[in-house]
């Protein structure tokens, strides 16, 4: 779904361009923290891998075939920051060299396909790993769900941009249904391939999978017939590294996810009362209902306006959504952080 030039109007393209530039700046800093000076070669090679794996065709049936998009895969294999960078670089090069996706639509493409997919996939993945038992199998399962959700999420983000700055007036409901419908199907394929690929990498080099770093079992030795823990002498070497990055990562992903969620909330808050209102106007019942709706709740007020005000109302509802979600998210992360700090004793021992 590389968006060409002229599909989204110029102001919206500019805004998404700024958004994408901000996300890339944050990712550059984050990736440097994850990889130090190894960033350039490693991220470059992973970008080349994603570029190549997008050419790997997976036959579906009767001559049709699909290919991997790679956002979720990148996030799980190399971490969210490096993942965003790799997919962005791939998109940048596809735009400039291969004319795949317009130059002015670079912001739209990067925001949709690099930022939204990667961040949603990684947030879902992390959230699931917190709940699931700590086994390689649950990493595979979590990556399946993460990839499954990331593709329709990108489609929804595109629909949102289209609602704000689309150049044709196809009804937003139709665009959303078509985009999400098609991309749920694509998402199933993406999820299967991603989960299988992550499973294949975990089977060979579990240490390379960023999302499975906490999984390494404690090394135990059998001494005189009973299992004994290896003395935690060099265990302290690896633990602080993991602890240092994960908290910031959690915070950043949580914040961005809450923003994305708020976007969806605003999308629904603006679209569904519109439909209601239209029906109400058609049936001539809006005279009575108007005061009712206004007095009922502030969100209803922002939603029930005529079509020209839908964007404004959606935006306002979105802002409120951001506030609520950030507060809720912060509470969750505060709780998670407290739990982490209680069991942050250096237990991981590298068994390589």
Map the footprint of other proteins across residues 172-201, applying CB under 8 A: 174, 192-193, 196-201
**92, 114, 153, 160: residue in contact with other proteins (rule CB under 8 A):** 92
Question: Which residues inside 36-55 make contact with other proteins, applying CB under 8 A?
Answer: 37-49, 51-55
Q: Considering beta carbons, is residue 24 or 156 the nearer one to other proteins? A: 24
Window 109-148: residues binding other proteins (CB under 8 A): none
Question: Which residues lie below 8 Å from residue 38, measured CB to CB, with a gap of 6+?
Answer: none
Q: How far is the CB of 60 from other proteins (least distance, A)?
A: 6
2 binds other proteins (CB under 8 A): yes
Q: Is 157 a binder of other proteins (CB under 8 A)?
A: no
282 counts as binding other proteins under rule CB under 8 A: no
CB of 127 to other proteins, least distance (A): 24
Cα–Cα distance, 54 to 42 (Å, whole number): 18
Query: Whose Cβ is closer to other proteins: residue 192's or residue 216's?
Result: 192
The rounded distance, in Å, linking the Cα atoms of 98 and 118 is: 23
Instruction: Return the percent helix, strand and coil in the chain, to nearest 5.
Output: 75, 5, 20
Q: Residue 222 Cβ, how far from other proteins at the closest point, in Å?
A: 30
Nearest to 90 by CA among 72, 69, 120: 69
Give Cβ neighbours of residue 224 (< 8 Å, ≥ 6 apart): none
Interaction between residue 4 and other proteins (CB under 8 A): yes
104: helix, strand or coil: coil
170 belongs to the binding site for other proteins (CB under 8 A): yes
Q: Scan residues 8-37 and list those touching other proteins (CB under 8 A).
A: 9-10, 13, 24-25, 28, 31-32, 37
Angstrom distances, CA of residue 160 to CA of 29, 176, 268, 324, 325: 28, 9, 10, 20, 18
Q: How many residues bind other proteins (CB under 8 A)?
A: 77
Tokens representing 28?
């550059």
- Nearer residue to other proteins within complex by CB, 60 or 243: 60
Query: What radius of gyration, in Å, describes the C-alpha atoms of the chain?
Result: 23
Q: Is 100 a residue that touches other proteins (CB under 8 A)?
A: yes
């Amino acid at each position: 779904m590389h968006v060409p030039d002229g599909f989204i109007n110029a102001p919206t393209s500019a805004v998404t361009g700024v958004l994408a530039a901000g996300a890339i700046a944050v990712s550059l800093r984050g990736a440097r923290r994850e990889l130090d000076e190894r960033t350039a070669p490693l991220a470059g090679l992973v970008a080349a891998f994603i570029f190549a794996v997008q050419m790997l065709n997976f036959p579906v049936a009767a001559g049709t075939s699909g290919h991997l998009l790679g956002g979720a895969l990148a996030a799980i294999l190399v971490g969210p920051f490096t993942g965003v960078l790799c997919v962005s670089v791939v998109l940048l090069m596809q735009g400039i060299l291969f004319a795949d996706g317009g130059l002015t639509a670079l912001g739209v493409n990067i925001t949709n396909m690099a930022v939204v997919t990667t961040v949603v996939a990684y947030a879902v993945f992390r959230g699931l790993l917190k709940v699931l038992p700590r086994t390689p199998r649950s990493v595979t399962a979590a990556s399946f769900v993460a990839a499954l959700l990331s593709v329709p999420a990108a489609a929804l983000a595109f629909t949102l941009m289209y609602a704000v700055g689309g150049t044709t007036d196809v009804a937003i409901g139709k665009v959303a249904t078509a985009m999400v419908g098609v991309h749920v199907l694509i998402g199933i394929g993406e999820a299967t391939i991603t989960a299988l690929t992550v499973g294949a990498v975990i089977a060979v080099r579990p240490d390379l999978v960023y999302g499975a770093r906490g999984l390494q079992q404690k090394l135990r030795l059998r001494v005189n017939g009973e299992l004994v823990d290896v003395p935690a002498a060099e265990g302290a070497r690896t633990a602080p590294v993991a602890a240092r990055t994960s908290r910031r990562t959690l915070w950043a992903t949580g914040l961005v996810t809450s923003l994305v969620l708020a976007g969806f909330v605003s999308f629904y808050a603006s679209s569904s009362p519109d439909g209601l209102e239209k029906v109400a106007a058609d049936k001539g019942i809006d005279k009575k209902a108007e005061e009712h709706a206004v007095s009922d709740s502030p969100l209803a007020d922002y939603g029930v306006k005529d079509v020209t005000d839908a964007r404004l109302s959606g935006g306002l509802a979105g802002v409120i959504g951001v506030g609520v979600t950030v507060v809720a998210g912060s509470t969750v992360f505060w709780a998670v952080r407290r739990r982490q700090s209680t069991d942050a004793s250096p237990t991981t021992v590298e068994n390589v």
